[in-house]
Structure formats: structure tokens, C-alpha cells
Structure 1
Amino acid sequence: MIRRLATAALSLTALLALTACGADSSADASGSGSRVTLTLGDQAKTLQTLVNASGALKGAKYRVKWAEFEGAAPLFQAVQAGAADTTYSADLPALQALSGGVKFKNVAALKNDGHHTGIIVREDSDVRSVKDLKGRKVVVSSAKGSIAEYLLANVLEQNGLKYSDVKVQYLLPTDAQAAFASGKIDVWATFGVYQAVGLQQGGRLLIDGADGRISGYGFIGASDKALADPAKKAALGDFLKRLGTALTWTSTHQDAYADAIVERNGADPAIAKTLASAAYSKVLPITPEVSSTVQDVADLMNGIGVLDPNVDVAKSADTSVLK
């Protein structure tokens, strides 16, 4: 849980032990003479794999280092501790971090169709509908305030249930994956590669985030310190445009992208193809429409006590980086 990271007793040494952080040669397009280095926060090598496979950073006039984490919570901790310049997450983890006092601004929106987030159950489970979740334990990955938790809260409300009608337990994705595979977990709200693996290891999709059940928005954010550095801010603006190019590349090179996921993440080829097809499709400025949609997410989660205090989404954005 990210709550009150401004006062969290997390040492930088311990923080760096959670991640592999270093410059990738293909990202160091400007050569060793560059005076600007962006330390880009990432989850499960998602952005790193994407930009390297697409060659999007070729010709960049700055250096890039990657700060890799298993989930959003430790990534936001890294930003708070000054170990990463940028954030990368779905909408609710970003809101949770802002509510918890992490000093950053969202600078660009990402968009997908919501299929990458889902609630899965064991194949032999007697849970056949969302209404069957009443009274059940549901494991949510990863920390309080994940996008999987929003999906759970939203579909419960849509089906006439209260959030208190289920018993929520939080587990990091890798721990939850192992428990689900061994049959210790019956219902699991998860996302991305963990959802794909869970379905491959005896899971059945109960419901996913498509058709507006989640907003489909994610965010790239930047620490207040990075935004106050004109050179880093300019480099970040360039990176966001290149990331948009990389996402466009995936739409016409899904096989190549899937191969890169296999090579860099060690994923099963079938899972890699699923992930390649579920990637965010574009990078967008944070418009009033984006802010309004994500504000609905914030308001729902605040109403059930998960997001406290609430966040003003529009005021938490810096729209000057990506016009």
C-alpha cells in the first residue's frame, strides 16, 4: 500500500534492491556525451521491451536508464525516493499514489480496451457470475488501489452488490499467481501478464474490464523534481512522442512485439501473443475528457473508502509536457 509515502521509512538502498536499474545500450542513443539521463519507471519490462523492439529511441539526444518493478506500488515508492523520474501505471494506482502524497504529476494518458484486466476463477469453481462473489474471498493484485480492485468494485456495484459483500485480500502478483496455480486461491482480480498466465494455468475468466467496466486509461507521470529540470522535461516530452510511435508500431508488428516479449521476459509464446494484442494503443494528452472519465474512477473508490483523501484528477496533471 502506498499510503503516506511522504513519511514512509523506506531507505534508498532497500528501494534499489527491489529493482534492476541501469542504462540499456539500445536506449543510449545519444552516446556517452549526453548530459541528460531519464530514469524511466517500468513494470515487468513492459515499456523497455516495447521501445527497444520498435527502435523508438534511436537518435534520442539523452540517455535512458530503466527502473524495473513488479508492480505499481514499489514504482511509486521509487519516484518518491528519487530513484526514478517517471511513473507508469493504470489510472487507479496513480490516483492512490497522489492521494498518498507522492510528489508527481501525470503528464500523458495511455489508452486500451480494458481486456487486460480481469477477475478469474478456478476452472472447477462454482462461481459463475459476479453475483456469486457475495460472501467470497477475492484476492486482489497487487496493493490496495490497483486497477484490478477498481474492476472488482465497479462490477459489484453494477450487479447490485456492495464492496463489503466480498472479503478482499491483497497479494503481490507473483505470490498470487503461485497460490492460484496451486489451488489455494479461488477468485483472483488481476491484470496483464498475470491474468494471461492465470488463465493458462487452469483459470477461467469471470469478467474483464472491457465495455467501460474500467476506464481503459493509464498514465505516464513525472516527479515534481524531474519536471522542474528544463532539460529533463524536454527529454520527457520527446520520449512521450517516441512512445506513441512505439505503440503505433505494435499495431502492425504484433508478431515481432510478441517475439520481443518472449526474449526479454521469458514469457510463453502464447502468453506473449496475448500481451502483444492487449497493449495500450496510443499516447494521449490529458484532456478534460480524460480527466472527467478518470474522476469517476476516483469518486467511486473514494466512496467505498479505498481512495482517501480523494484526488482532483485535472489538478494532478501537467498538460504542458505533451500538447
Structure 2
Amino acid sequence: MSAFYPNRRRLLRTLVACGLTPATAWLASRPAEAAPSSLVFGDQAGGLRALAEAAHVLDGTPYAFRWANFQGAAPLFEAQRANAVDLAPAGDLPVLAAAIGDPSLKLVAARVGSASSPGIVVQADSPIRHVAELKGKTVVVSSARGSISQFQLYGALAEVGLSRADVNVRFVLPVDAFAAFEAKQLDVWATFDPYYGTAVQRGARVLRDGAGINSGLGFITASGAAAADQARRPAIADALRRFQRAGDWAVAHPDDSARVYASLTRLPLEAAAVITRRSALHQRAVSNDDIATLQRVADSAFNDGILPRAVDVRSITDRTISDA
């Protein structure tokens, strides 16, 4: 889809200057001789890294770590499934979709953000004004099947009496979709932050955000290999505590957090401030309520055909690491 936008390289630098890495580049990138207590932190569009660096919570860690950054959950979980990433942050639906492909992954922390962070946008001059008018239209969803954007789209359609069969859904990774949207090659796009916030800041019109549809919950998952590795579990527990402190710091210092995020991603400060305010900053151990909420999402997504089979959320949850 690179033909959509002649200055695609410049756009990618603007959006993801913090270094989006194709999953394939990470599948064989973990050296076999790496210390067993070293960690690879997965990330999406630089959000978790910006948070940690803004709060300086990773200063002086007693273990080695590095970052692997991806444009969306699908390539991130591909890398985690290959044990090239130890910890991965993602929204509720992508975690469930990943668990179907890799039931060994474990939910090790919950993160609470705004349910309005994903959204369906149209071009500023689009004649489409209401979700009901999407019938018969093509909607691009980022990033892949099982994304929070797909869940939100189907929820928005159900609100107005439409089904998923009433629209033509195409799945496109968010960077390519952003380029196409900027070039006005697509009119309707269901996506998530930071792409959603950036598109709106550049003039896109919001057709429906995720409030009342999405849970607003995110999770940090550990790969099955990392969760089972007794040498790495203390380091994972320490990293989770540091990420939790980073979220607390960002809530108390929203302006500073937005500035660091803008600097790392090269996004405009105005867009960065909106995105960071609704990010999943509040981190905590996975609670019974979180499990129940995610189970409802899993059941709904299975009934809607988003997930190919049911997921038992409790079976993929490991609370022993954070409890330690």
C-alpha cells in the first residue's frame, strides 16, 4: 500500500520515529547467549517506553533489558509467540486473540485507560454523518482480526441495528492505513491511539468513539517461556512494579508525560496530550473483576464471530508474579 502516499517515509518518521520494528526482524533477534534474567519489553507505537522514560522508572534496573517496538498488537504478539518478546502491552481483544494462537501466554497485569481511545473516523468532507450510513460501505479496520477496533466497529453497528455483514471490512496495519487515509484513498477507518488521535488532530471527523462499547482495559502479558522461567520471574515482577510507578507518575504529571511522548514519537504536542490523557496509565494486579470483564468481552467477541473459539480468561491469568 505504499503507493497510497508519495511521502510515506516522512509520514512513518512522524508517526513512529521511536522505531517500529517488523515482527519478522525480531523472531530470530534474541541471542541464545543472553543472560536468563534479561528482558525484552514489547511495545506499541512507543507508548509504554515513553511512559517509562518520562518517569525514569527503569534507571538502575538490576537486569538487562531492551525494547522491541511494533505498530500494532498483531505483529507484537507474533514476536511474543516466538519468545522474542517477554512482556507485551495490549488492549483486551488483541490479548484474547493472541491467547487463541498461543494459550501459554499469561496475563500478569491490568491497565486501565479510557474506553474512548479507539474510534471510527471519516474524512472531514465525508457525507457520512452517522454509523447507520455505513451500510454497504467499506470500512478499514486496524490492525488485524481480533483488534479492539474490530470489536468497536461491530458494537457500533449493533447499536444502529446493522450487522457485520452490512459493511465490507478490510484489515490493514495502522501505518499503511494512516498513509491511505492521509492520501484520501479511504474514507472510513476504525483505529486506535496513537493513530486515531493523530488523524483527528489532522482534521479527521469522529463518527463514533469507543465509549460504551470497549472496556477501556488493557493488559500486560508475559510469554509462556518467560512466565515459566524462574530466573526471569523476579525481573518481570520488578518491571511490573516499575511500570506501575510510571503510570502513577504520569497521572500526577500529565504535561511532562505528554512532552516526553511527543519528543519520542515526534507527534505534535497537542495530539500527544490527548493521547496520553486517555492511555492505559493506571496499572494494577489482575483482579477478579478484571477477569470477569475480560471474560464478557471474550464471550461477546466469540458470539460475534471475531474470535474463532471461546477463551477461558482465568486459565491464561498468572497472578503469582505480581503477588510476589
Say yes or no: TM over 0.5: yes
Alignment match, 2:147: 146
Work out whether residues 107 and 222 of structure 1, in 8 Å CA contact, stay in contact via their aligned partners in 2. yes
Closer/same/farther in 2, CA of residues 15 and 200 from structure 1, 3 Å limit = closer
- Counterpart of 2:309, as a letter, is P
- Counterpart of 2:280, as a letter, is Y
Alignment match, 1:206: 207
Alignment match, 2:128: 127
Q: Distance in 2 between matches of 1:202 and 1:49?
A: 25
Work out whether residues 23 and 76 of structure 2, in 8 Å CA contact, stay in contact via their aligned partners in 1. no
Q: What's the C-alpha RMSD, in Å, of the aligned pairs?
A: 1.9
Closer/same/farther in 2, CA of residues 233 and 116 from structure 1, 3 Å limit = same
- Counterpart of 1:177, as a letter, is F
- Describe the SS at the equivalent of 1:41: strand
- Counterpart of 2:135, as a letter, is K
- String of CA shifts for 1:34-55, please: whole Å, max 9, x gaps: 8621111111111111101101
Q: Distance in 1 between matches of 2:246 and 2:63?
A: 17
1:241 paired to 2:241 = yes
User: Which 4+ residue blocks in structure 1 deviate beyond 3 angstroms?
Assistant: none
Alignment match, 1:279: 279
Work out whether residues 107 and 316 of structure 2, in 8 Å CA contact, stay in contact via their aligned partners in 1. yes
Shift of 1:18: 6.0
State the identity %. 39
Work out whether residues 38 and 64 of structure 1, in 8 Å CA contact, stay in contact via their aligned partners in 2. yes
- String of CA shifts for 1:166-194, please: whole Å, max 9, x gaps: 11001110111111111111111001110
Q: Distance in 2 between matches of 1:233 and 1:118?
A: 36
Work out whether residues 148 and 189 of structure 1, in 8 Å CA contact, stay in contact via their aligned partners in 2. yes
Alignment match, 1:97: 98
Work out whether residues 141 and 171 of structure 2, in 8 Å CA contact, stay in contact via their aligned partners in 1. yes
Alignment match, 2:253: 253
Q: Distance in 1 between matches of 2:138 and 2:121?
A: 13
- Give 1:152-167 correspondences, 5 Å limit: 152-167=153-168
- Counterpart of 2:200, as a letter, is L
- Counterpart of 1:36, as a letter, is S
Work out whether residues 181 and 202 of structure 1, in 8 Å CA contact, stay in contact via their aligned partners in 2. no
- Describe the SS at the equivalent of 1:89: strand
Shift of 1:60: 2.5
Shift of 1:102: 5.2
Work out whether residues 93 and 146 of structure 2, in 8 Å CA contact, stay in contact via their aligned partners in 1. yes
- String of CA shifts for 1:272-295, please: whole Å, max 9, x gaps: 111221221311222221111111
- Give 1:5-154 correspondences, 5 Å limit: 15-17=23-25, 36-101=37-102, 103-154=104-155
Work out whether residues 118 and 191 of structure 1, in 8 Å CA contact, stay in contact via their aligned partners in 2. yes
Work out whether residues 42 and 88 of structure 2, in 8 Å CA contact, stay in contact via their aligned partners in 1. yes
Q: Distance in 2 between matches of 1:285 and 1:239?
A: 13
Shift of 1:321: 1.5
Q: Distance in 2 between matches of 1:184 and 1:47?
A: 31
- Describe the SS at the equivalent of 2:232: helix
- Counterpart of 1:17, as a letter, is A
Shift of 1:57: 1.7
Alignment match, 1:321: 321
- String of CA shifts for 1:240-290, please: whole Å, max 9, x gaps: 111111011111212211211122111112211112212213112222211
- Counterpart of 1:195, as a letter, is Y
Q: Distance in 1 between matches of 2:213 and 2:278?
A: 16
- Counterpart of 2:139, as a letter, is V
- Counterpart of 1:93, as a letter, is P
TM-score (norm: length of structure 1): 0.87
TM-score (norm: length of structure 2): 0.87
Q: Distance in 2 between matches of 1:52 and 1:195?
A: 23
Work out whether residues 56 and 246 of structure 1, in 8 Å CA contact, stay in contact via their aligned partners in 2. yes
Higher relative contact order (CA 8 A, sep 6+): 2
> Which sections of structure 2, spanning at least 5 residues, go unmatched?
1-21
Q: Distance in 1 between matches of 2:131 and 2:220?
A: 31
> Which sections of structure 1, spanning at least 5 residues, go unmatched?
1-13, 23-33
Work out whether residues 181 and 187 of structure 2, in 8 Å CA contact, stay in contact via their aligned partners in 1. yes
Work out whether residues 104 and 316 of structure 2, in 8 Å CA contact, stay in contact via their aligned partners in 1. no
Q: Distance in 2 between matches of 1:196 and 1:222?
A: 28
Closer/same/farther in 2, CA of residues 179 and 15 from structure 1, 3 Å limit = closer
> How many residues are matched?
298
